[in-house]
Amino acid sequence: MPRITVDGRDYEVPEGRTLLQALDDLGVLMNGVEIPHYCWHPKLSIDGSCRLCQVEIEGQPKLQIACNTPVQDGMVVYTRTERVRRAREGVMELLLVNHPLDCPICDQAGECKLQDYAFEYGVPRSRTREPRRALKKRVDLGPTIVFDQERCILCRRCVRFCREVPGTGELGVFGRGDRSVVDVFPGEELRNDYSMNVADICPVGALTTRDFRFRIRVWFLKEIPGVCTGCSRGCNIHLGTAYNRVYRYTPRRNDEVNETWICDEGRLSYKAIGAPDRIREPWLRSARGVLEPATESDALGRAADRIRTAAEAHGPGVVAALASPHATNEDLFVLRRLLAALGTEVHGMAVPRGRGDEILLREERAPNVAGGRALGFGEAEPVLDRIRGGGVSVLLVLGHDLLDPRYEGALDALRRCESVILLDTHHSELERAAEIVLPVRHAAEKLGTFTNFAGRVQRIEPAVEPPFLALSDGETLHRLGRTLGLAGFAGVYDVRAISRAIGSEFPAFAGRDVDAVGPLGLPLAGDPA
């Protein structure tokens, strides 16, 4: 492998990579080795247009752009010389010639690379006398993106993204020289399943999402690492939170899962966290046949009484459970323990499905399908058939995944049970069949792990707290087991202990507990992924 020297430090890098790629591979680019750049992006083709990444290389008479200079053994690079600094100042001055001076009202302020580099390399005053050119402002490029053409610095990241990732190519560069502009092709709209990624990769405030635009200043946000729950890929995300509220999802880089992208559908799914249809208190069906608010102790007490009575009268096999792949590995493990303590093995998992694609979106629309299967949960249909045959008296249901069209008639089947105990985040049609409803936390509100379709165990942590009393599915089931007096359910619920215990009973999860998987996750033990 070639060895290069950058600012006096030696690095061993892969052959065939450019300087920026090699430094990015090592994790030192803008993290010890400061080479500013606009047009280069680690997941897009090389453009070489912004010229900001110029560096000095021994033996080369001119400065070279680091984005398109292949590494060579023995290469000696300097990134902080006076010559390099003057070149960067010249590039920045040209970029700012026509850029509007509107940082105070720009929605990108606080996370704008033009703002950052202007502070670092910008000249104190403009030397031009001509007025800045006027271009389009506040243009709807499509249903998700608002465009301010005046702020564009022609890095062309958005153009390359649309051509290379979704393959739709709605954007192009029109005109020549200093009259060049980015725009949509005539008669086209920026309308693809990944369109909002152009706002993430835009280094300035030219492209912003309609959803987040002017909602909050970014310096008020705390970015919490998490996992998108929209499908079984489990894209890594940042949850932008402030004042106990999630304002946005943005993609978090994980080359093993989603690279640096996220689909629009998953990005907008954050709205479910604070939605008005959240279940905010327990409900019990009264003698009049209607659900009425109740206390947690009353709801758990009735649930325990229904389970105990049915098991004593007909045997534990009349108690069954339908799990949710939206629940964490820890939640599902507690459910398995509860069922084992009751002496029943009647359980399954309802898996919602939707449209998939060849980029990120998976047909299985839940984050922990693989985790549920690895923990022994099979398909939901055999349990539903058993219910229809009258073999289930009490049914525990996690989530409302049974409402997926593939489980047509499931609601009617549930009405055949003497008692349905529902643990869910949002109100749904399933409540029509439920006798007991218990509120539980959304993934953004709890600690645990998901296992994605490729067998990678990934951590989630609380980004916000629910503004009402709600516990995780696992803790609610733990309290139910304690109310039933089952062995192993005494004491306080400890999600970390549960996470470690999974690895003891399921070898594939050994060393994959919530504190061990790290920010990028780990594949299941023995999984080549």
Identify the CA nearest to 482 among candidates 322, 338, 311: 338
357 vs 360: CA distance, rounded Å: 7
Q: Tell me: pLDDT of 529 over 60.
A: no
If you compute the radius of gyration of the chain from its CA atoms, what whole number of angstroms results? 28
Query: What is the per-residue pLDDT across 49-103, written as a single tens digit (0 to 9) for each?
Result: 999 999 999 999 999 999 999 999 999 999 999 999 999 999 999 999 999 989 9
> Which residues belong to CATH 3.40.50.740 in the chain?
283-495
Query: What is the per-residue pLDDT across 359-378, written as a single tens digit (0 to 9) for each?
Result: 999 999 999 999 999 999 99
Whether 403 and 411 have beta carbons less than 8 Å apart is answered as yes
CATH level 3 topology of 283-495 = Rossmann fold (3.40.50)
CA 401 to chain centre: 20
pLDDT for 526: 82
Q: Tell me: pLDDT of 229 over 70.
A: yes
Query: What is the reported pTM?
Result: 0.95
Sheet containing strand 448-451, edge to edge, reads 448-451, 456-460, 522-523
pLDDT for 528: 52
> Which residues belong to CATH 3.30.70.20 in the chain?
132-272
Query: What is the per-residue pLDDT across 236-258, written as a single tens digit (0 to 9) for each?
Result: 999 999 999 999 999 999 999 99
Whether 215 and 438 have beta carbons less than 8 Å apart is answered as no
338 vs 356: CA distance, rounded Å: 34
Query: What is the per-residue pLDDT across 90-134, written as a single tens digit (0 to 9) for each?
Result: 999 999 999 998 999 999 999 999 999 999 998 888 888 888 888
Percent of the chain residues past pLDDT 90, beyond the cut: 96
pLDDT for 486: 97
Range 329-345 average pLDDT:
98
CATH level 3 topology of 132-272 = Alpha-Beta Plaits (3.30.70)
> Which residues belong to CATH 3.10.20.740 in the chain?
3-95
CATH class of 3-95: alpha beta
Of the listed ranges 33-37, 88-92, 126-130, 172-176, the least confidently predicted one is 126-130
Q: HEC profile for 30-42?
A: CCCECCCCCCCCC
